[in-house]
Amino acid sequence: MNQSNEQVGVFICHCGGNISDTVDIKSLKQAINTSNTIVFDHEYLCSNLGQNLIKKNIARCSLKKVVIGACTPAKHEKLFKKCVDDAGLNPAMLEVANIREQCSWAHSDDIDAVTQKAISLVRGKVRRVQNAKPLEPIQIPINPSALVIGGGIAGIDAALNLANNGVHTYLVERNATIGGNSAKIGKIFSPEKLEEECAMCSLSPLMNEVGLHPNITLMSCSEVENVSGSAGNFKVRVRKKARYVNDNCMACGRCSNVCPVFVENDFNCGVKDKKAISLSFAQAVPQIYSIDSEKCINLTGGTCSRCQDVCKVGAIDFDQKDEIVELNVGTIIAATGFDEFDASRKPQYGYGLFANVVTQMELARIFGVNGPTEGKLACPSNLSKPQRIVMIQCVGSRDEKPTGNRYCSRYCCMAALKHASLVKKKYPDVEVTICYIDMRAFGLYENYYRAAQDLGVSFVRGRPAEVIEKPDKSLVVKVEDTLTQKVREIPADLVVLSVAMEASTGTRQIAQTLNVTLGEDGFIKEKHSKLKPVDTSRDGIFVCGTAQSPKDITDTIAQSGLAAARTCAFISGGSITLDPEIARVDLSLCDGCGECLKCPFDAISMNDHGNVAINPLVCNGCGYCTVLCDQKAISIAGYTEEQIHAEIEGVLEKGDLLAFLSRNIAYATADNIGSSAATYPANTKIIRVPTTTIVTQSMIEQAFGAGARAVLMVEEPTDDPIGESVYSLALDNFQKLKEELGDPGGRIHFKKAYIPNYRGLASTLTTLSQEEVGE
């Protein structure tokens, strides 16, 4: 006998009585002890002593395969795999029999019945492991470069952090310059200082650094169109839009001087003070002009070449075309920022109707020395100095109506206080009133709030109903001062709306391109609000700044630094190890029919040689392809048909209920029954499968052949990432099986798992395991 090759070591854990109180360990050992098994037991196998016992006996008895009878594999399977790996065995040579959650804890039957179940579970695993083949871990190198999408303050800071840590970074910005909204706001508030700082003074050096950094490839006028691949290896298609000016532009400005076309200036909130060929603003990076193709006379079919005529370096190129660039990166950071709420959605406040109703951003531009009034406080209607300014908070925020947003936009109370302070410092005679619901000067910002009060800013607690324009163009804000309970009509020369931050169109688009989840408010959803604030629903893709939620610059920078740190940590891993239990193709059996390309996760493709290829980065081992393959050329490593047949043979006894449970939620729900001290009869035998799509006709026939009372399949729910795609396929497979087998007496069943509802599963298991067998 060549038993020594096949010797299976079985280790039974007492779990300090958790198992040994309800399972007779002696009987179990006796029953399992056969010619090709050696059985050991220990008080706590998960302890160092227990693990040493395993390692020592693998060496001493030259064990080739190991079965551990202990708690659920969800708990310590990884630990035990490492343990056998350390002892020189391939981790696939280990099986864990769940004799705690799904045995000693789950049954109120007598000790004999529970012991009998433990025996069958361990026996099943012994049979299974005898059919196991070694599996090599799949390791994929991580591409060490990163992509940052969006060149606002968040993207700039993230890119610089990465680049300074030696990561080559592509920074893709859709506009002609980086800088984003921060470039517009002029002054910024900070928690510790009561002074307002110059935004551009902080931002401009960073922008220049981005432009010059050897580790940063800056792509302006560019948009991400498509992303494929997965964490560690993304392939990104970027469209570089024609700007009609070549990179040799010296930014001398002669072209703009001679251009006859004035266009709306986004930088100055739509004021028509820009030429069709222009630089976005003086500090723009890159310092390359660009042409507005929708307004340029030449590009709209007219005759004009004045800019071309005066350009000394021949940089103007009317024939420039869009360019497609392919990038390969390991990770991606979405920093696509916010859009200002369109205040005309609240027509009662007169925005767009009355010239002297502006947003805080527009007031910031009015204050900007590079703005439309060169920093002079003035009403847009006639450029006169306003004497009375009223600010309205929460425009489009904290508003459940269809035209508003439910959330608080977080920055606006501070923005209003900042602008109110600026006005009061420069023009102490101007009256400033802020109409608010709650002033939210959180944390250290409260200092700033107090300082604004000291400056004489007035506060009225109430959400205004309307803004009215009088015939003399002066405005009136109608509001109830809820503290004095009086409806007031506050006269104003300038009304400033503190509008909401909304997820930008770019953010919504990129979420779709990247296939990351958006929250109900339209921002990119983080994986965990406390513990994983910059991780998205997809591995290797991070988010920071206002793409994730409304926030001020301070919070944005905190987040962009974290996103860069997470990215560096991910890249420095060098490679990622993938779960080996995924689909494998035996090309010698494959007839190239292409059925398996129906993979719901697009993990399977035909390669250049016409062979089926599995993308290990995408495949999650659900097993659906195994049912599609008539040639049985595809199997899930670790879950081959032979292995499952062997386990069925090992566990099943006459009158049993055989339950196939999908390996994540369904299996965890069954564990929950045991750990919550609910019960079901011990004649229920559970087999863990990737998903129930791999259950075949022959498995069920084998079960009934061995006298099973009934067969149950429990699938992942549809709100699970795998269940979402697989649930309906699993249901189809179940219905097909029912049909093929004729299902006498309704003995094949199907159920959706739901972790909190472990009692539901317990009662199903109870009913089915006690059901009278028909005919």
Partner 1 sequence: MSEKATGTLSGYDTPECETLAEIVKRSLRTSDSIGIDRCIQCGACTASCPAARFTDYNPREIVKRVMENDCSVIGDETIWNCFYCYTCHLRCPRNNSPSQVVQVLRQLSINEGTGLDKIDMLFEYGIIFAEIGVSKLPPLFFEQMETDFDEHWLEFKENLDEVRSELGLGPIGIRDNGRGEIRAILEGTGFFERVGRLEQTATTETDSKQSFRRDGK
Partner 2 sequence: MKTIEHIPDQGILLFKTCMVTNEYPGIESSSTYAFDRLGVDYFVSDEQSCCTGLGFYFDLFDQLSTTAIAARNFAIAKKKGYPNITAMCSTCYAINKKACSLLNGNEEVRTKINSIFRQAGLDDLVYEQNSLDEVDNFYHVVEIFLSKAKRIGALNTIDLSGVRVAAHHACHYYKIHYDDVIGNPENPQLIDTIARSCGADVVEWYEDRTLTCGAGFSQRHINRETSLKVTHAKLESLKNAGVDLVLHMCPNCQIQYDRYQPVIEKEFGTKYDLVHMHISQFVALALGANPDKVCGFRTHSVPLDDFLNRLK
Output 238 or 434, the one with its CB closest to partner 1.
434
Answer with the entry of partner 2, partner 1, none that 403 interacts with (C-beta below 5 to 8 A by kind).
partner 2
For residue 632, give the H/E element and its range.
Answer: none
Is 348 a binding residue for partner 2 by CB under 8 A? The answer is yes
Which of helix, strand or coil describes residue 647?
Answer: helix
Give the C-alpha distances (Å, rounded to integers) separating 430 from 442, 458, 469: 27, 11, 20
**Interface residue with partner 1, options 26, 133, 401, 425 (CB under 8 A):** 401
Ranges within 458-497 binding partner 1 (CB under 8 A) = 461-466, 478-482, 485, 487
Would you say 203 and 184 are in contact if contact means Cβ atoms under 8 Å apart? no
CB of 399 to partner 1, least distance (A): 4
609: Cβ contacts below 8 Å, ≥ 6 apart:
none
Is 482 a binding residue for partner 2 by CB under 8 A? The answer is no
Q: How far apart are CA 58 and CA 64, in angstroms?
A: 7
Ranges within 297-356 binding partner 1 (CB under 8 A) = 348
**Interface residue with partner 2, options 237, 345, 645, 738 (CB under 8 A):** 345
Answer with the entry of partner 2, partner 1, none that 353 interacts with (C-beta below 5 to 8 A by kind).
partner 2
218: Cβ contacts below 8 Å, ≥ 6 apart:
151, 171, 173, 178, 210, 211, 285, 286
Output 75 or 345, the one with its CB closest to partner 2.
345
Find where tokens 């999908």 sit.
662
Is 394 a binding residue for partner 1 by CB under 8 A? The answer is yes
Output 212 or 353, the one with its CB closest to partner 2.
353
Q: How far apart are CA 586 and CA 139, in angstroms?
A: 20
Output 301 or 471, the one with its CB closest to partner 2.
471
Is 400 a binding residue for partner 1 by CB under 8 A? The answer is yes
The amino acid occupying position 459 is: F
| Cβ neighbours, 10 Å, residue 611 | 12
Is 402 a binding residue for partner 2 by CB under 8 A? The answer is yes
Find where tokens 């994540």 sit.
664
Would you say 495 and 357 are in contact if contact means Cβ atoms under 8 Å apart? yes
CB of 413 to partner 1, least distance (A): 14
Output 330 or 464, the one with its CB closest to partner 1.
464
Output 151 or 380, the one with its CB closest to partner 2.
380
Q: How far apart are CA 559 and CA 567, in angstroms?
A: 12
The amino acid occupying position 769 is: S
Output 294 or 400, the one with its CB closest to partner 1.
400
Q: Which stretch binds partner 2 (CB under 8 A): 309-317, 346-354, 368-376, 428-436?
A: 346-354
Answer with the entry of partner 2, partner 1, none that 468 interacts with (C-beta below 5 to 8 A by kind).
partner 2
Answer with the entry of partner 2, partner 1, none that 402 interacts with (C-beta below 5 to 8 A by kind).
partner 2
H helical segments located in 610-752: 624-628, 641-651, 665-675, 697-705, 721-741
Find where tokens 């964490």 sit.
231
Q: How far apart are CA 396 and CA 285, in angstroms?
A: 32
Q: Which stretch binds partner 1 (CB under 8 A): 88-96, 455-463, 525-533, 755-763?
A: 455-463
Give the C-alpha distances (Å, rounded to integers) separating 508 from 329, 336, 520, 560: 22, 9, 12, 19
Output 469 or 743, the one with its CB closest to partner 2.
469
26: Cβ contacts below 8 Å, ≥ 6 apart:
none
Output 59 or 353, the one with its CB closest to partner 2.
353
Q: Which stretch binds partner 2 (CB under 8 A): 145-153, 348-356, 518-526, 675-683?
A: 348-356
Is 399 a binding residue for partner 1 by CB under 8 A? The answer is yes
Q: How far apart are CA 743 and CA 42, in angstroms?
A: 44
- Residues near partner 2 (CB under 8 A): 345-348, 350, 353, 401-403, 466, 468-469, 471
Residues of this chain that bind partner 1 (CB under 8 A): 348, 394, 398-401, 404, 437-438, 461-466, 478-482, 485, 487
